[in-house]
Structure 1
Amino acid sequence: MSTDSLVAGTHFLPEADPVRVAHKALASNLSDLAAMGATPAWVSLALTMPEPDETWLAGFCQGFFALAEYYNVQLIGGDTTKGPLSLTLTVQGFVPQGKALTRCGAQSGDWIYVTGTLGDSAAGLALLLGQKSVDDAALAETLIERHYCAQPRILAGQALRGIASAALDISDGLVSDLGHILKRSGVAAVIEVDKLPLSEELRRFEPDAEKASQLALTSGEEYELCFTVPEVNRGAVETALAHCGVKATCVGQLRPGTGITLFNAGEAVDWQLQGYDHFAE
């Protein structure tokens, strides 16, 4: 089970396409189940709106039910009320007893992997907020689409049961979310930033390699999986993920101690980075 809230002006722009808002809301919740290796089954939705808006609701329903039907998730209830635009979803699912992926099973020596590519969501958000612009309209649209319409890694999470020692989804940035595994498991991490998987679109958006890597480390709302794997299971990762069409990249290793150390091309770097802070001003 997982619950997430999305608030207009914080998690999405008030004028955002409701189709995309719905996809993002449901995908973010399903991603939590993916990180547990679970199969999603039901969802409830609490919707708060300032005024009834049939056009907005039609778009929202289109995006919501398209993703729900794809993952065979049933809407079983919820609530509506008047107020500032916000959404709260609770998803429920199944996982075989004793097989759930958690954050507390990692050990020193385990390898750190991420699925997909990182950084595109932050790039899309920067474009939406007008913090940066690009001349290529197709590139801008691709990155904005990736910000709003990530695909939860449900099948990948299921495939990693019995292989990964710990897992979570990247919602607040790799450097922030990986810290939860480190804290719960009592280990430290070394990240090889030159091994981070970056899309061609991100490299075009940010040609400076260091800045692109920093985006990849801090980009929130990626909804890719970060997971750790013991040495004995490394050979099983590619085979396990092959059937669901998801690529995983090894980006570092766990060590004794605390915190995260960054290396770039074999040299330690002192980048003062942090992921998304829900209560930052």
Structure 2
Amino acid sequence: MSGSGEFDYIRTRLAPLSLGLPGAAALTDDGAVLTPPEGCDWAVTADTLIEGRHFPHNEDPALAARKALRANLSDLAAMGADPHAYMACVVWPETGREARMSGFADGLALDQDIFSVHLAGGDTTSAPGPWMISITAFGAVPKGQAVRRSGAQPGDQVLVTGTLGDAGLGLKARQGLHAPAKLDADYLARRFTLPEPRCALSGLVRQHAHAAIDVSDGLLADTRHIADASNCTIELKLEDVPLSKPARHWLLQQPDRSQALLELVSSGDDYELVLSLSADAARDFIGAASRLGVPVTRLGEVTSKGDSQGGLIVLMDGEPITPSSFGFTHF
């Protein structure tokens, strides 16, 4: 994107998104100058979403923008960080660019109000396609309190927030592979297009969790990341996976319950949190999250510390099963 159109868009639609963040200089400088709140570190994360890969072609541009931002805020929540600012780099497709630009800025504005973040800068350009949105988000976390994947300890309980598999079913419905009733369809579509990052829990995460990760690639893949990083073994009970009513309705229609559950927990895009906590901390976390309106489920435990590399054991009614796929991978 070149010429006055790019700069007019930045001045009129993007620069207002930086108001309230003095270091962004209203997007008139080569970069932002940011300082974390006193006594805090930055937790920094980045994600790229591509049209046709991470969100459908012809998606509402406001929803695409919000999903891109929320995917990053979910990472911050898993680290116990509070959202502060973000940068956005966008590659607009040459065909249909104008139709996307206004809705994109509108979507970011909506979520800035919800999550108290501000645009700090970024870049815009254009290419033949596809549409690509890359967000880098900054979260503030008290010094030394960032939660990593590597802290799980033997004896920890493994918890997950919310419900799993809804986004995957929402994608199936969008692709015509699942035909839910209207109420179910509306719910699943929202879970796919507009995930709910658990930012409200970031303080609880850093207070209680030994390790955490957000579920973007699927429960099994992401829990295995904790096991590998922590050099431990984690056992998950598949029969305890929390499901929404629409997901339970789908499950009842499947011929093989175990395989259907495996499909739900490997579909990805849930943006819930998986956490490893001591038994006492797990009890406190569940109670505090419940008071904030977020359900939390015990799914398993950390059973041992390995010699070199961790692993994941998936159980169904007490018996180990071998998943054919652990989750989404880009290549």
The CA distance in 2 between the partners of 1:100 and 1:26, in whole Å, is 20
Q: Retained in 2: the 8 A contact 1:134–1:205?
A: no
Structure 1: distance between partners of 2:87 and 2:163: 30
Query: In 2, Cα distance between the equivalents of 1:213 and 1:23?
Result: 28
Q: What's the % identity of the aligned pairs? A: 35
Is contact 1:206-1:212 (8 Å) kept?
yes
Please state if 1:16 is matched with 2:59.
yes
From 223, 226, 232, give the equivalent of 2:271: 223
Residues 169 and 226 of structure 1 are in contact (CA less than 8 Å); yes or no, is this contact kept in structure 2? yes
Residues 184-263 of structure 1: pairs in structure 2 closer than 5 A: 184-207=229-252, 208=254, 209-256=257-304, 257=306, 258-263=310-315
* Distance in 1, Cα, partners of 2:193 & 2:233: 32
Residue 104 of structure 1: CA displacement? Answer: 0.9
- Corresponding residue to 1:114 among 160, 171, 183: 160
Separation (CA, whole Å) in 2 of partners of 1:80 and 1:45: 8
| Superposition TM-score, scaled by structure 2 size | 0.80
* Aligned equivalent of 1:163, options 196, 204, 208: 208
The answer to whether structure 1 residue 265 and structure 2 residue 317 are counterparts is yes
**Partner Cα distance (1:133, 1:242) in 2:** 31
Distance in structure 1 (CA, Å) of the matches to 2:180 and 2:271:
27
Using the alignment, how far apart are the partners of 2:145 and 2:180 within structure 1?
48
Q: Is the 8 A contact 2:89 2:134 kept in 1?
A: yes
2:212 maps to a residue whose letter is A
Q: Which moved more, 1:24-33 or 1:50-59?
A: 50-59
In structure 2, which of residues 102, 122, 132 is the aligned counterpart of residue 78 of structure 1?
Answer: 122
SS of corresponding position for 2:68: helix
Counterpart-to-counterpart distance in 1, 2:282 and 2:77:
20
Give the distance between the partners of 1:135 and 1:253, measured in 2 at CA. 34
Letter of the 2:250 partner, please give it: F
**Aligned pair 1:42/2:94, yes or no?**
no
Alpha-carbon contact 1:203-1:212 (below 8 Å) kept: no
Structure 1 residues 15-71: Cα deviation after superposition (integer angstroms, max 9, x where no partner): 111121111101001111011111111111111112263332222222221112111
The structure-2 alpha-carbon separation of the partners of 1:149 and 1:135, relative to structure 1 and needing over 3 Å to count, comes to: closer
* Whole-angstrom CA distance in 1 between matches of 2:263 and 2:161: 16
The number of residue pairs the alignment matches comes to 278
Shift of 1:135: 5.1
Contact 1:153/1:224 (CA < 8 Å) preserved in 2? yes
The alpha carbon displacement at 1:211 in A equals 4.0
Query: What residue ranges of structure 2 are gaps of 5+ in the alignment?
Result: 1-43
Asked which structure has the greater CA Rg, the reply is 2
CA distance in 2, matches of 1:200, 1:243: 22
Name the counterpart of 2:74.
31
Question: Greater RCO between the two (CA within 8 Å, min separation 6)?
Answer: 1
CA RMSD, Structure 1 to Structure 2 (Å): 1.5
Q: Does 1:99 align with 2:145?
A: yes
Q: What do the CA deviations read for 1:70-116 (whole angstroms, capped 9, x no partner)? A: 11100121111011210111111200111111111101111111000
Helix, strand or coil for the counterpart of 1:162?
A: helix
C-alpha distance in structure 2 between counterparts of 1:64 and 1:239, whole Å: 32
With structure 1 as the length reference, what TM-score do the two structures score?
Answer: 0.94
Preserved CA contact (<8 Å) 1:196 1:216: no
C-alpha distance in 2, partners of 1:139/1:240?
29
Could you tell me how far apart the structure 2 residues matched to 1:139 and 1:174 are?
22
Q: Which amino acid aligns with 1:123?
A: L
Secondary structure of the structure 1 residue equivalent to 2:59: coil
Look up the SS of the partner of 1:104 in the other structure. helix
